[in-house]
Amino acid sequence: MHSYISPNTYITLRLPSGTLRVLRILPNTTISIGKFGSFPANLLLGRPYHLTYEILEADDDRAQTELRIVPAAEIHAEALVEDATATEPGADPLIDHVDGDASPMVAENGDVLGKSNRLTVDDAARQTLSYGEIEQLKKAKTGTGKEIIAKIMEAHANLDEKTAFSLAKYTLRKAKKFLRRFTVLPLDVSMLTQYMLSDKESSKVMDLREEMLGLTGCWANVHYGVSNEVRTTDDGLGQIGGGRWLMIDDT
């Protein structure tokens, strides 16, 4: 049912921050996703769902905005690197190269077990890039989200003091903020319910989760499909078909 993106259909975009955005794909229009950028809607037509795309702004190498399919290996690169590092003894540079200011955890026999962030001071002054410089990087069309993150991390004065866990959290926060990526998902009942609860007015669905809405629909014998045929019941007092309203009252 949801194989390829067709014109005039509603889709869901999942942004790097986790926010969901529902929109309609209209041919020959421009889709804007706020600070993450914009792109022509025609670039999504005919493409499959459940893929992650990166917006490549027009520059000297590209005459117009393009969408790059982000491979799964790149999306999960950080997780794969962390797993590989954990299986290789002595491969973590945060453990091999220890500073006194990093407050290392030392065993009774003198072996260094890892770093602690007890003495690490989280100060905004340690980021040498100013707010204006970061804004210029974001507005520049030649730099991708990964390049912006790399420059921000390079300008951090005390990045080497962070533990592996703290560094992973720091990188994830920057990725959610600067990566110009989005994932295209079909707008089905499950996704619409999630969108209403998390990003829209949850009161319109009475804060009911997906499983509760499904159970209510099951009890009410709600079926998929619409029939315009209206038939009178055998006793002549009621009608069947033509659509019915299901009302939930919490009073």
Residue for token digits 């069309």?
Answer: 141
186 within some domain: no
Q: What is the mean pLDDT of the chain?
A: 71
183: closest CA among 8, 7, 18? 18
Closest CA to 203 of 170, 236, 250: 250
On whether residue 154 sits in a domain, the answer given is: yes
> Whole-model pTM?
0.58
Closest CA to 102 of 110, 89, 93, 173: 93
What total number of domains does the chain contain?
2
Same domain flag for 94 and 118: yes
Residue numbers of the domain that contains 213: 192-240
Q: Would the CA dihedral through 229, 230, 233, 239 be positive or negative?
A: positive
| 231 φ/ψ angles, rounded to the nearest 5 degrees | -120, 150
Which of 25-29, 49-53, 147-151, 218-222 is predicted with the least confidence, judged by mean pLDDT?
147-151
Same domain? For 206 and 160 the reply is no
Task: Place 77 in a pLDDT band, splitting at 50, 70 and 90.
Answer: low
Pick from 139, 154, 177: which residue ends a domain?
177
Angle at 121 between CA 118 and CA 122, to 5 degrees: 120
- 153-167, 185-199, 216-230: least confident range: 153-167
